[in-house]
């Protein structure tokens, strides 16, 4: 993290009127609601998913029973990149970093006993987001739930996959077409659904600075807005549905300021660049997750403290929902007890600290206001460079954003290796106490079990209906009509994630990163 010295003189650089505007008013530096958490707490949305749908369903029920107010689904890698569990490329990865979902049958089990009109669900899924959203819709229909009543978010942020995470399938232009199809469908059919969560989290976890996290996230968001407008969508309509996702790292004051700066910068971009006049279309609503990359395998109990402080920075920064990492996540997926402690961390902040009683309680602090101004200015300069170079897609295709993130990550690791940046328990305050902590173990039979489920599904479905449904997906991909309706129909015909993804691969091709 960067070293800064903030003095009261820095305030002379600030627009004090703008910085101390009423919460809930443009440019929303102090929060998107006038009363903030006095009116409504953030959603305590714990990220979970592993093994089979049945195992993950038990974890979701457990979290809801212990006070969770929303669900956040982690999918395994094969699901994320459009391969069924019995595909050769899925070997060794089924159910490992998330839940394995191959078909509507798995999705139905995942939410068994959880009415989808009673819970808000976030799904961390990108390249196959349109397929998993279709499965969620089909599951709601099976439950007898009116789809217009379901609420939640699909991450659906494919651009950051090209620069920081890598779970892309299709070339950028085809991917943008799929994203805007989801925008258009949700605008008509799912009034309570956020069709995208534009993610700075993975950019930061890949090694970016706080300023780069804000800048590159906003650059991706600009590309999505431009694509949606080009597709004929109204910025004042779809703009209200945009949501964002940021990391909460360990430089406490910087993180609080980062969230405030991001809100202010985005409000100005939507108003001044895109002409959004609807206040909700100008507002940056965001989910936060504590920083997985800061967790340590050494002295893992220290991670509870790290997560608590990172969570507090997100709350003081005005987040709309929050996930706390488990203390054991540098060693494996969180155990049930670890997940409960992570949830309790949020509950302690909400119920015991008193910070929820004041909207933007840090507003006016010279350190916070100066950092907010500094981060906004730095991010604006990066955005200007991206614009001058031809825009976000050009910057991604040329590897410019990737190289800047990699350089920042290298500098950060050098600082840790040299001891210039302290990591307690790793390069300072170390000891020889052995790590004695339970690690979650994944059922070793998950891969074979899921393979059998997929095989039985293929044998039992109506082959004519299945064939016709995939043909309709092909036709929509070719003629430019919205892909959501035929994909929903394919899901209901029990086509699998891999089969639908392969149908789209045949039309759009696959993206290959240049060496």
Q: Give the structural domain span for 493.
A: 461-508
Is residue 458's pLDDT more than 60? yes
Say which residue the tokens 């994320």 belong to: 80
At residue 4 the predicted structure's pLDDT band, cuts being 50, 70 and 90, is: low
Taking only the tens place, the pLDDT of each residue in 55-107 is 999 999 988 998 887 888 999 999 999 999 999 999 999 999 999 999 999 99
Taking only the tens place, the pLDDT of each residue in 290-349 is 999 999 999 999 999 999 999 999 999 999 999 999 999 999 889 989 999 999 999 999
Specify the DSSP element, H or E, that contains 123: strand 120-124
Average pLDDT over residues 370-382: 97
- Pair 264, 405 in one domain: yes
Is residue 10's pLDDT more than 80? no
Three-state secondary-structure class, residue 247: strand
- Is the Cβ–Cβ distance between 127 and 82 less than 8 Å? yes
- Pair 465, 411 in one domain: no
Domain finish residue from 383, 418, 453: 418
Three-state secondary-structure class, residue 249: coil
Specify the DSSP element, H or E, that contains 382: helix 366-388
Length, in residues, of the chain: 515
Domain finish residue from 418, 445, 472: 418
- CA nearest neighbour of 184 among 238, 135, 245, 252: 238
Tell me the C-alpha distance between 174 and 181, whole Å: 11
Say which residue the tokens 């996930």 belong to: 323
- Pair 111, 239 in one domain: yes
Domain count, the chain: 2
- Pair 127, 253 in one domain: yes
CATH number at residue 267: 3.20.20.240
Average pLDDT over residues 145-163: 95
Determine the Cα angle at 168 with ends 165 and 169, to 5°. Answer: 160
Determine the Cα angle at 138 with ends 136 and 139, to 5°. Answer: 65
Tell me the C-alpha distance between 421 and 2, whole Å: 10
- Is the Cβ–Cβ distance between 472 and 486 less than 8 Å? yes
pLDDT at 14: 52
Average pLDDT over residues 436-448: 86
Three-state secondary-structure class, residue 179: helix
- Pair 216, 80 in one domain: yes
In a domain, 398, yes or no: yes
- Pair 72, 167 in one domain: yes
Taking only the tens place, the pLDDT of each residue in 195-204 is 999 999 999 9
Domain finish residue from 361, 391, 418: 418
In a domain, 105, yes or no: yes
- Pair 236, 374 in one domain: yes
pLDDT at 9: 52
In a domain, 443, yes or no: no
In a domain, 220, yes or no: yes
- Pair 263, 410 in one domain: yes
- CA nearest neighbour of 132 among 151, 114, 107: 107
Is residue 513's pLDDT more than 90? no
What's the mean pLDDT when you consider all of the chain? Answer: 93
- Pair 143, 281 in one domain: yes
Q: Which of 9-23, 230-244, 263-277, 338-352 has the lowest mean pLDDT?
A: 9-23
Is residue 453's pLDDT more than 80? yes
Three-state secondary-structure class, residue 52: coil
- Is the Cβ–Cβ distance between 16 and 41 less than 8 Å? no
In a domain, 109, yes or no: yes
Sequence-ordered list of residues with C-beta below 8 angstroms from that of 92, at least 6 positions apart, any chain: 447
- Pair 42, 152 in one domain: yes
Tell me the C-alpha distance between 290 and 310, whole Å: 6
Is residue 35's pLDDT more than 90? yes
- Pair 155, 103 in one domain: yes
In a domain, 435, yes or no: no
In a domain, 330, yes or no: yes
- Is the Cβ–Cβ distance between 140 and 147 less than 8 Å? yes
Q: Taken in order 27, 32, 33, 37, is the CA torsion positive or negative?
A: negative
- Is the Cβ–Cβ distance between 381 and 144 less than 8 Å? no
- Pair 409, 465 in one domain: no
- Is the Cβ–Cβ distance between 215 and 378 less than 8 Å? yes
pLDDT at 15: 54
In a domain, 1, yes or no: no
At residue 435 the predicted structure's pLDDT band, cuts being 50, 70 and 90, is: confident
pLDDT at 1: 47
Taking only the tens place, the pLDDT of each residue in 290-307 is 999 999 999 999 999 999
pLDDT at 77: 96
At residue 270 the predicted structure's pLDDT band, cuts being 50, 70 and 90, is: very high
The stretches of 389-432 forming alpha helices (DSSP H) are 392-397, 400-418
Taking only the tens place, the pLDDT of each residue in 466-478 is 999 999 999 999 9
Task: Quickly count: other Cβ atoms within 10 Å of residue 326's Cβ.
Answer: 31
Percent of the chain with pLDDT over 90: 87
């Amino acid at each position: 993290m960067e070293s800064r010295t903030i003095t009261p003189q820095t305030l002379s650089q600030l627009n004090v009127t703008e910085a101390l505007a009423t919460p809930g008013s443009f440019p929303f530096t102090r929060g998107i609601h006038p009363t903030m958490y006095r009116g409504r707490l953030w959603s305590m949305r714990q990220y979970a998913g592993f093994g089979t749908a049945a195992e993950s369903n038990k974890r979701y029920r457990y979290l809801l029973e212990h006070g969770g107010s929303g669900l956040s689904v982690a999918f395994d890698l094969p699901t994320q990149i459009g391969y069924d569990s019995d595909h050769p490329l899925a070997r060794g990865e089924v159910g490992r970093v998330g839940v394995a979902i191959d078909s509507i049958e798995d999705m139905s089990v995942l939410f068994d006993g959880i009415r989808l009109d009673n819970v808000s669900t976030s799904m961390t899924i990108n390249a196959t987001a349109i397929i998993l959203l279709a499965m969620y819709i089909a599951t709601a229909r099976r439950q007898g739930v009116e789809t217009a009543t379901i609420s939640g978010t699909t991450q659906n942020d494919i651009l950051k996959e090209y620069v920081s995470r890598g779970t892309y399938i299709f070339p950028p232009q085809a991917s943008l077409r799929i994203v805007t199809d989801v925008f258009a469908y949700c605008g008509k059919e799912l009034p309570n659904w956020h069709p995208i969560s534009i993610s700075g989290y993975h950019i930061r976890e890949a090694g970016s600075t706080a300023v780069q996290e804000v800048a590159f996230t906003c650059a991706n968001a600009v590309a999505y807005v431009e694509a949606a407008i080009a597709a004929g969508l109204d910025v004042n309509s779809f703009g209200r549905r945009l949501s964002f996702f940021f990391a909460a790292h360990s430089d406490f004051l910087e993180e609080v300021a980062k969230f405030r700066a991001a809100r202010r910068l985005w409000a100005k971009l939507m108003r001044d660049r895109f002409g959004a006049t609807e206040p909700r279309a100008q507002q940056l609503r965001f989910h936060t997750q504590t920083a997985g990359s800061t967790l340590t395998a050494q002295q893992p109990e220290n991670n509870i403290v790290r997560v608590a402080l990172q969570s507090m920075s997100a709350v003081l920064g005005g987040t709309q929902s929050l996930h706390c990492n488990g203390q054991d996540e540098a060693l494996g997926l969180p155990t049930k007890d670890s997940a409960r402690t992570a949830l309790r961390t949020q509950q302690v902040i909400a119920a015991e600290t008193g910070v929820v009683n004041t909207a933007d309680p840090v507003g006016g602090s010279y350190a916070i206001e100066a950092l907010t101004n500094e981060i906004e200015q730095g991010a604006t300069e990066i955005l200007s460079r991206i614009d001058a170079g031809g825009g976000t897609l050009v910057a991604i295709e040329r590897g410019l954003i990737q190289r800047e993130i990699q350089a920042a990550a290298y500098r950060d690791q050098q600082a840790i290796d040299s001891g210039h940046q302290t990591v307690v328990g790793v390069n300072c305050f170390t000891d020889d106490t052995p790590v004695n902590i339970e690690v979650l173990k994944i059922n070793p039979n998950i891969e074979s079990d899921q393979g059998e489920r997929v095989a039985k599904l293929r044998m039992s479905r109506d082959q004519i209906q299945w064939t016709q449904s995939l043909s309709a997906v092909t036709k929509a991909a070719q003629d430019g009509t919205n892909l959501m309706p035929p994909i929903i129909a394919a899901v209901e015909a029990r086509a699998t994630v891999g089969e639908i993804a392969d149908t789209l691969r045949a039309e759009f091709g696959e993206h290959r990163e240049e060496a």
